[in-house]
Structure 1
Amino acid sequence: MNKYIHSFLIAMISSLLMVACVDSYMGVEQVKTNSVKPEKITIKEIIPKSGALEIYFTLPKGNPNITQVVASYVNKQGEKVEFTVSRYSAFILVEGLTGTEQVTVELVCIDSSGNKSDVTVVKAAPLTSPIELALNTMKVQPAFGGIKVEWKNERANPFIIHVLVEDSLQKGVVSFMEDPYKTIYTTDSVNTFAYIRQYPSVEKKFGFSVSDKWGNRTDTLISFLTPYKEEEIDYSHIKAVTFYNPTIYAGSRDYGIYGVNPTTGIQNDGNAHGTAHVPQTIFNNIRTGNQFYGYKFVKNLSDSDPANRIIVHNYYLTFDMNMNVRLSRVLIYPRTGLVYTYKRSSPKRFRIWGTNDANNERWKKFPETWTLIGEYVGKDPVDTDNLTPEEIEYFNNNQEYSISEGNVNPDAHPTESFRYMRLQLMETYNKNEAFYTINEFQMYGEVLEYY
């Protein structure tokens, strides 16, 4: 009998719990829904933007259940594009528009039950889109080994520049097609240029179009251009010279004793750490390990008080190129390892000086008889302590300086050719570091004559 009473009580309790959960479950109230659609939203103002419309609106009064506002339009590819904001926003930005013709945008508000209001229709014309502005302002011109492309992107909008070139897929058949390896991805408002290389110095057909994340793509700009002749400078011809008294010693040397030639008054070339780290090593095609390693001179080095010692940051390396060359660009490959990436002894600022055999006083007078080819400054990362993979890759493998466009010194003459080169290292990323390190100094340009 007790067994049946126990079973009856369990059944009764379960029934009571089921009844109690009609309006709530575990103490959480169920959402009540209805099928009444909210009133339409009211448009207050429409502000045309570049490739967009900024639409200000007012929600129906007295309806606290509205959760969001949705704006949509059909793009030129026939696809519906939607944008959503919460009820707490006063406007909605509709993007991805191209052209300056009037477009139709539909807006609805949605409540917590999922009910949509009737459509409010907006008709307005956007301003010229970022990708159309980029194409309209695009300039294409010959460059060493290829072409230079420039554009405007004042608001740092993200877009892609597609590069099309002629290519021979089979003998006698030339196709004009996109080269995916030359694609330019940009979100920059300052560095709005790029070089497309490597091409021979013959006329070639190039094409450029711009696309965005909304799937829009511009027409193609066509240009016929002849790149300037450019070649990688052959290291086998370059030899370090000793006319400016370079030394080898595993440590810093006193500027007052070793820094200046007492006869000419010219600063001597720097001091290398050892025979395995002399200036010639920047031209040995080795980009890893520890190549060139040179100590800066120090004034008052023998002073017992370190506070009186002054590091001389200018450090010179001098070479006979054994060719008459006009440089187009150089690449620096620093000592590898994160401790040298935008840090320590890696060069940040440097100059290139040049002269030729006509300068009979080249070893006796410097700099007045030499030509300043250019002065260059390395980039800084956003946060030295939190480098991005892109920043690391650039610094170690793509640290390129254009001889003309990259020059920061108005007194320089980047187009001058020369035979003898004096490389002036001026600043390390850590100004307190007493030495410089470089693994390779790669050069490109036009060789006018070999000696």
Structure 2
Amino acid sequence: MKKFRYIMPVLLLLLGQACKEEERLDHMDANAAAPQQVSNIRSTGTPGGAMLTYKIPSDENLAYVKAVYEIQPGVFKEGKASYYTDTIRLEGFGDTNEYDVKVYSVGKNEKASEPVSIKIRPLTPPVISSFEALSIEAGFGGVKVRFKNETEANLAIVLESDTAGKGLNAPLQTFYTKAREGAYSVRGLPSLERSFSVYLRDRWGNKSAVLTKKITPLFEQEVPKPFASLRLPTDSYLPVESAYPMERMWDGLVDIWIFASQSTALVQWFSIDLKKEVVLSRMKMHQRSPNYTYGGANVKVFELYGSNAPATDGSFNNWTLLGKFQSFKPSKLPTGQNSAEDYDYAYTKGEDFEFQETPQAYRYYRFKTLETWGGGGGCHITELSFFGKF
């Protein structure tokens, strides 16, 4: 009991001290002068910008360094860096002209030093350099835009057209990308000559020159269904009498799936007879229902082959590779997580796979599954459709 009496006063004293309001430790001196200027500033041009390096002043009041610059008339930007680094990145320039940049040292009390001025000259910005490889051409049911984006910058590809026939181009569609290269298509246009224009825009509003051409979209139509199955010796498919025969892939209903047994190891393939020679422009594939979209045996990577005289032994003799394709997930969420856009794109509307180059006409096509979204064997496809000219 005596020991307990000694401990209690000590605990109460400690608790009392803990309950007292602690005084705030304030390291900011509101009356401190602005910090010293940075020195020895150097500039290295980058595509559409520059990198500034400098010597940081030995000043306890320094919080950060900022650079203020004008990328367009009346449009100012700031680049900032803490006192832990000696580098600031400048970006957003739309040309290679010379620009004035003012560099400030800013204190913990937000007081800024007098600026140090430096002239910088950006390298050719992506919105300009990428325009050199930009092209537009006739496509099936519309037009196709091809691009190269060596720096993988965030760019908008703006397509316009004289859809009203009044000699004035109006916005048709805008594609956003940071891919190194690729192609985009606009479909649903009549096969009539009209003016099309395309240009690039970056996220700071800088624009490239405008490429304008008169183009007549190629006529495109859907290949009539039903197709016919082509059951070759090496193909993978369930028997006709099963609940999910391959013929259900082209019954016009997005409600069921073709199922190659889960025990079927990848790589595996099946073959189709379109009943006539067709110059394909694209193929549309619907994944299995929402509970399985971007998972399970839904196809992730595949190849498509064409032939007019397929080998009867099931080999790839007389088959021509038309392209290798990869399924795209709009949200880019991890496997097992899907957005409403993912479901709409892959299941409801179906994913379009377009040929980069127009192939010759073939009657028979072979679908070769290389990889599924779930990583296992088997193959789920709710519906397949083909488009082109025949």
| TM-score tier (shorter) | 0.7 to 0.9
CA distance in 2, matches of 1:140, 1:212: 19
Aligned to 2:4: none
Check conservation: 2:248, 2:256, Cα contact below 8 A.
no
Aligned to 1:120: 116
Check conservation: 2:293, 2:343, Cα contact below 8 A.
no
Aligned to 2:45: 48
The alpha-carbon distance between structure 1 residues 400 and 41, as it changes in their structure 2 partners (threshold 3 A), is same
Q: Any unmatched runs of 5+ in structure 1?
A: 1-24, 245-259, 261-265, 299-309, 406-413
Tell whether 2:280 aligns with 1:290: no
TM-score if structure 1 supplies the norm length?
Answer: 0.71
Check conservation: 2:307, 2:365, Cα contact below 8 A.
yes
Question: 437-446 or 69-78: which moved more?
Answer: 69-78
Task: Give, in angstroms, the shift of residue 368 of structure 1.
Answer: 7.4
CA distance in 1, matches of 2:267, 2:146: 36
Task: Give, in angstroms, the shift of residue 93 of structure 1.
Answer: 0.8
The alpha-carbon distance between structure 1 residues 332 and 338, as it changes in their structure 2 partners (threshold 3 A), is same
CA distance in 1, matches of 2:300, 2:69: 53
SS at match of 1:192: strand
Aligned to 2:359: 415
SS at match of 1:45: strand
Aligned to 1:251: none
What are the equivalent positions in structure 2 for 1:298-447 lying under 5 Å apart?
A: 311=265, 314-319=268-273, 321-344=274-297, 346=299, 348-355=301-308, 364=312, 370-372=318-320, 374-379=322-327, 385=335, 387=337, 389=339, 394-396=345-347, 397=349, 399-405=351-357, 415-419=359-363, 421-427=364-370, 429=372, 432-433=376-377, 435-447=378-390
Task: Give, in angstroms, the shift of residue 231 of structure 1.
Answer: 1.7
Task: Give, in angstroms, the shift of residue 328 of structure 1.
Answer: 1.3
Aligned to 2:158: 162
Deviation readout 1:389-429 (Å, 9 max, x if unpaired): 36665544453322355xxxxxxxx622133x243444451
Partner residue of 1:100 out of 80, 93, 96: 96
SS at match of 1:282: helix
Task: Give, in angstroms, the shift of residue 98 of structure 1.
Answer: 1.5
TM-score if structure 2 supplies the norm length?
Answer: 0.81
The alpha-carbon distance between structure 1 residues 316 and 59, as it changes in their structure 2 partners (threshold 3 A), is closer
Paired letter, 2:387: Y
Paired letter, 1:98: G
Partner residue of 2:31 out of 31, 34, 39: 34
SS at match of 2:131: helix
Check conservation: 2:163, 2:194, Cα contact below 8 A.
no
Paired letter, 1:446: K
CA distance in 1, matches of 2:191, 2:362: 22
SS at match of 1:167: coil
Partner residue of 1:277 out of 236, 244, 247: 244
Check conservation: 2:287, 2:350, Cα contact below 8 A.
no
Tell whether 2:154 aligns with 1:202: no
Question: 362-371 or 207-216: which moved more?
Answer: 362-371
SS at match of 2:169: strand
SS at match of 1:277: coil
Check conservation: 1:330, 1:442, Cα contact below 8 A.
yes
What are the equivalent positions in structure 2 for 1:139-288 lying under 5 Å apart?
A: 139-168=135-164, 173-179=166-172, 182-189=173-180, 191-235=181-225, 238-240=226-228, 244=231, 266-267=233-234, 270-272=237-239, 274=241, 276-287=243-254
CA distance in 2, matches of 1:338, 1:155: 38
Check conservation: 2:201, 2:208, Cα contact below 8 A.
yes
The alpha-carbon distance between structure 1 residues 329 and 268, as it changes in their structure 2 partners (threshold 3 A), is closer
CA distance in 1, matches of 2:311, 2:156: 51
CA distance in 1, matches of 2:298, 2:77: 52
Q: Larger C-alpha radius of gyration, 1 or 2?
A: 1
SS at match of 1:27: coil
CA distance in 2, matches of 1:108, 1:123: 15
The size of the alignment, in residue pairs, is: 364
The alpha-carbon distance between structure 1 residues 432 and 65, as it changes in their structure 2 partners (threshold 3 A), is closer
CA distance in 2, matches of 1:213, 1:275: 54
Aligned to 2:83: 87
Check conservation: 1:347, 1:436, Cα contact below 8 A.
no
Check conservation: 1:350, 1:377, Cα contact below 8 A.
yes
The alpha-carbon distance between structure 1 residues 367 and 59, as it changes in their structure 2 partners (threshold 3 A), is closer
Paired letter, 2:176: Y
Deviation readout 1:41-94 (Å, 9 max, x if unpaired): 213321100010101011223x11011111111232412221222111211111
Check conservation: 1:269, 1:317, Cα contact below 8 A.
no
CA distance in 1, matches of 2:209, 2:253: 44
Identity of aligned residues (%): 18
Task: Give, in angstroms, the shift of residue 290 of structure 1.
Answer: 1.8
CA distance in 1, matches of 2:298, 2:151: 36
CA distance in 2, matches of 1:127, 1:223: 29
Once superposed, what is the RMSD of the aligned Cα atoms? Answer: 3.1
Paired letter, 2:128: E
